[in-house]
Structure 1
Amino acid sequence: MSRVPRARRRMALVVSFVLAAATACGLLAEQGLAAPAVQVWVTTGDQSKLLQQQPSVHFGPDHGSETTVDVDEDATYQTMDGFGAAFTDSSAWLVANKLDPARRDELMAKLFAPDTGIGLSMLREPIGASDFTVNGDYTYDDTCCDLNDFSIAHDRKYLLPVLKQAKALNPGLKIIGTPWSPPAWMKTGGSLHGGRLDPGSPGLFADYLVRYVQAYAAEGLPIAAITLQNEPHHEAAYPSMRMDPGEQAALIKNEVRPKFKANGIDTRILAWDHNWNEPNYPVDVLDDPAAKRFVAGSAFHCYDGDVGAQNQVHQAHPDKGIWLTECSGGQWAPDFAHNLKWQTQNLIIGATRNWAKGVTFWNMALDQNHGPTNGGCSKCRGVVTVDTGSGKVDYNVEYYVLGHASKFVRQGAQRIDSSSYPNDIESVAFKNPDGSIALLALNAGTQEKSFKVRHNGQSFDYTLPPGAVATFTWNGAH
């Protein structure tokens, strides 16, 4: 029996592949359909592209064997709440008082409008003063020894108007409230700076939180979640307080949750709200079965430890959520390219691949001198910088890092599976409620890199320079 030479057989296979591809394209053309299109936005470390839309690419028959990012929408993980930052007292004051109305409206639209801006959908708001407050320390009731003088009048001057404008631009906006300190008269030592909650004050503090949630709701700003103490293992020379896990668990189960329930409040309660380096703290809180019933999950900051700590807590309590609630860039790391890579790698891809349902950076806006401050960080950088002399607004690297996620990942999206290669092409993918797919990819290597994205048996190729970020979006039904 005669044998077909190998070269002829290879040629026949190539011809068959080409004919199959041509037939597929011909069928699409006959049906009036284009090959599935993928929209692309890119930011590069040299700032030549800043969340800039690129020419669309198209899915086609799968081919090649280069680095492949497989996107699998059948493998689903956490549901997303959103991305954003904190309108601290300082941030809100700058936006309200140092920008003329036209510039303020332009900035707010670029921050919160889903179509014309980056669609930020989550805010973390200090309950009272923090280390970024314009006129010093305050709480909502600074007079001992009851809550008869409780008032959010301070916030009505400029904070609430800014929050309401944000919510008007993005009606799904979620707010997480966090106290830096209870009123001083509720604490040991009688100071907002450091100390602990007085043994006789847990009930009063819970009432204080109830009043806060109710007051903001009355302003049309429902509080989606609260944490009970910002950075509970950091006492500082600004509003702060020590709170250990046993104290937090007791406060949740004995006071806060019962009083929320009695007042018809469904605001979620999050444990911890401090760095990655102490995952045992939220685990300890959640290991208390009575407290766990009332805790939605754990909140983390980025300043110490590793993002993998979020996964440790998830593994210990997989039925509870994770949120990354604070991280700030600053003058200690001024290089745009370095920050673009690190923040995307750790705060967007790393945080969400380690179960974060939401990501909020620190100050939304700071001035050219990294303030106004109230005793805390003197070199922090806002998502934007407002020049108090000229009114000019600079959009910092944090704006673009957040935008690569917030503009394309809608509230209610589910994280889905995608291949990710450490220090090479790293990725995270989401399926939005409308069925569209958003894939964020980072070239974390030191050389230009070509790769392939494959979904539902079709693929497209793309090339990114080192350190560049891309977001790809497409209709999931192709």
Structure 2
Amino acid sequence: MRFSIKWLMVIAILALPMMAQAGPVRVWQTNADQSKLLAQQPDIAFSESATGTVITVDPKQKFQTMVGFGAAMTDASADLIRNHMSASQRDALMDDLFGKKGLDFSFMRLTIGASDFSSTHYTYDDMPAGQTDPDMAHFSINAARTDVLPAVKQALAINSKLTIMASPWSAPGWMKTTDSLIQGSLKPEAYTYFADYLSRYIKAMQAEGVPISLLTLQNEPGFEPDTYPGMRVEPSSRAAFIGGYLGPKFKAEDLKTQILDYDHNWDTPSSPLTVLADARANPSVAGVAWHCYAGDVAAQGAVHDAYPDKDAYFTECSGGEWAPEFDKTFAWTVKNLIIGSTRHWSKGVLMWNLALDENFGPHKGGCSDCRGIVTINSKTGEVKKNIEYYAFGHASKFVKVGAVRVASNEMDGLSNVAFRNQDGSLVLIVLNTRTQASTFSVKAAGKAFAYALPAGAVASFVWKP
């Protein structure tokens, strides 16, 4: 049989390994006036060169590896999802929040016992006033089995790459100076018991098929709320507890859960720095967790610079009716949490409640006007997507688990951050903070494209170089 030269060339080409082809740039955009909400735009073709204002993405300069974006499955969120929605409504919402065709959330926070977003105040080993339980004979996570565990298991079934962290709002009252979940601090003589309590929680959740990858020993340890569970744990006490009790406990029991310090605001970086400076505590601390309610996001970078072997995670911020304007709140959230927090080393970024109802609850004490990623009508199960849904969606839909943050030049008026996914695709998120539309070019790996972005708008660009 004879083959022509033409067919021999075709066969030879087909026999070569497939080469990744540079494709068009896909774009999703949200406008400040809500005329576009995470809306896919026409693809952009690559241009010959970058002109004018240029954002340069350098995939060769690599930073932290991402676990993703998400929110907290509080008692309130789980109750609404499990008890105030039909099965079809619930499945549609969970697929939208955790599924690949939706927001693809891959990071979740759980509360160890009650927070202010619980219908009752409790821990997993409560005792009557004046009584103790050093042997943990009454320890039980039954309270989580009603709504929280079914909701978390559904999320895990949708997204098996989900990373889960957990935080207590208070130790059991019998371990505290107040013998109450409200206010007080952890008694030094109870350090052994509290370490056992946290270890038992991790093992109990693991037995339920819910791995706890990250743990903080106290939510907001510098604050003692007077209407819901809380506990003050000064930096020196946290260092003593982690270095002398919790770290050794985890090591002895071969628990792989990583311990994060702090879990509080940007305004007091001296607090985690004190713990990290402690020679006994430092080896057991994997990183630092941060909240948004005071200070500046740059604090994350300063602490990381001092201890570059420690990870950073952003673990709580809440939207609320104190900031109802879409344009201002959307821009602030993207600039500080999506862009600022990851530029300052966050491997994961969390909002507070995944879902709340039309009355900003249910809650018992604490915040009375907090807003969830979504609002679920407690009577009809109808879902409203809030400002934070769109802000986080601009990252979570495109920056996949295992993505690496890469370099991009900071630019006045065009706040941005870039990532490289494991499949080689690049993601660039740009916020136009200027008061007028801006046209700019993006350059990466020898390719370039141009785009015009309205004032206050955000665009997520995805392409393969």
8 Å contact kept, 1:124–1:325: yes
Report the counterpart of residue 62 of structure 1 in structure 2: 49
8 Å contact kept, 1:35–1:58: no
Q: Deviations over 1:215-271 (max 9, x none)?
A: 110111100100010000100121000001111011111111111112120100000
Q: Out of 329, 333, 358, which is 2:319 matched to?
A: 329
Distance in 2, Cα, partners of 1:194 & 1:328: 22
Distance in 1, Cα, partners of 2:20 & 2:197: 60
* Residues 231-242 of structure 1 mapped to structure 2, 5 A cutoff: 231-237=220-226, 238-242=228-232
Tell me, yes or no, if structure 1 residue 361 matches structure 2 residue 351: yes
Change in CA separation of 1:63 and 1:355 when aligned onto 2, cut-off 3 Å: closer
Q: Out of 68, 89, 100, which is 2:86 matched to?
A: 100
Q: Deviations over 1:58-107 (max 9, x none)?
A: 2221142x111100001111111111100100111011111100110000
Report the counterpart of residue 367 of structure 2 in structure 1: 377
1:35 positional shift: 6.2
8 Å contact kept, 1:59–1:458: yes
Tell me, yes or no, if structure 1 residue 121 matches structure 2 residue 106: yes
Tell me, yes or no, if structure 1 residue 255 matches structure 2 residue 240: no
Change in CA separation of 1:266 and 1:447 when aligned onto 2, cut-off 3 Å: same
Report the counterpart of residue 5 of structure 1 in structure 2: none
> Structure 2: which amino acid aligns with 1:429?
A
1:411 positional shift: 1.3
8 Å contact kept, 2:244–2:280: no
Report the counterpart of residue 203 of structure 2 in structure 1: 214
1:49 positional shift: 1.1
Report the counterpart of residue 31 of structure 2 in structure 1: 44
Distance in 2, Cα, partners of 1:96 & 1:417: 42
8 Å contact kept, 1:35–1:59: no
Tell me, yes or no, if structure 1 residue 145 matches structure 2 residue 136: no
| Cα RMSD after superposing both structures | 1.4
Distance in 1, Cα, partners of 2:251 & 2:284: 10
SS of equivalent to 2:431? strand
> Structure 2: which amino acid aligns with 1:130?
S
> Structure 1: which amino acid aligns with 2:231?
M
Tell me, yes or no, if structure 1 residue 180 matches structure 2 residue 143: no
Q: Deviations over 1:356-385 (max 9, x none)?
A: 111000000001111111100001000000
Distance in 2, Cα, partners of 1:118 & 1:112: 6
Distance in 1, Cα, partners of 2:21 & 2:445: 17
8 Å contact kept, 2:431–2:456: yes
Name structure 1 gaps, 5 residues minimum: 1-30
SS of equivalent to 2:143? helix
SS of equivalent to 2:281? helix
Distance in 1, Cα, partners of 2:133 & 2:445: 64
Name structure 2 gaps, 5 residues minimum: 1-17
Report the counterpart of residue 473 of structure 1 in structure 2: 462
SS of equivalent to 2:230? coil
Report the counterpart of residue 74 of structure 1 in structure 2: 60
Report the counterpart of residue 21 of structure 1 in structure 2: none
Report the counterpart of residue 404 of structure 2 in structure 1: 414
Distance in 2, Cα, partners of 1:76 & 1:465: 30
Distance in 2, Cα, partners of 1:36 & 1:141: 56
SS of equivalent to 1:410? coil
Distance in 1, Cα, partners of 2:49 & 2:447: 5
SS of equivalent to 1:361? strand
SS of equivalent to 2:280? helix
1:470 positional shift: 0.7
SS of equivalent to 1:188? coil
1:458 positional shift: 2.0
Once structures 1 and 2 are overlaid, which stretch shifts more, 233-242 or 138-147?
Answer: 138-147
Q: Deviations over 1:278-337 (max 9, x none)?
A: 001111100112211111110110000000111110111111111110000100010111
1:186 positional shift: 0.6
> Structure 1: which amino acid aligns with 2:117?
F
Tell me, yes or no, if structure 1 residue 243 matches structure 2 residue 229: no
Report the counterpart of residue 438 of structure 2 in structure 1: 449
SS of equivalent to 2:312? strand
What TM-score does the superposition give when structure 2 sets the normalisation length?
0.93
Distance in 1, Cα, partners of 2:337 & 2:188: 37
SS of equivalent to 1:133? coil
> Structure 2: which amino acid aligns with 1:307?
V
8 Å contact kept, 1:76–1:415: yes
Percent pairwise identity: 50
Distance in 1, Cα, partners of 2:97 & 2:270: 35
8 Å contact kept, 1:127–1:179: yes
8 Å contact kept, 1:345–1:442: yes
Change in CA separation of 1:32 and 1:188 when aligned onto 2, cut-off 3 Å: closer
Change in CA separation of 1:57 and 1:189 when aligned onto 2, cut-off 3 Å: same
> Structure 2: which amino acid aligns with 1:87?
M
Q: Across the two proteins, how many residue pairs are aligned to each other?
A: 442
8 Å contact kept, 1:61–1:457: no
Distance in 2, Cα, partners of 1:317 & 1:407: 31
Distance in 1, Cα, partners of 2:283 & 2:188: 23
Distance in 2, Cα, partners of 1:420 & 1:129: 41
Distance in 1, Cα, partners of 2:438 & 2:354: 33
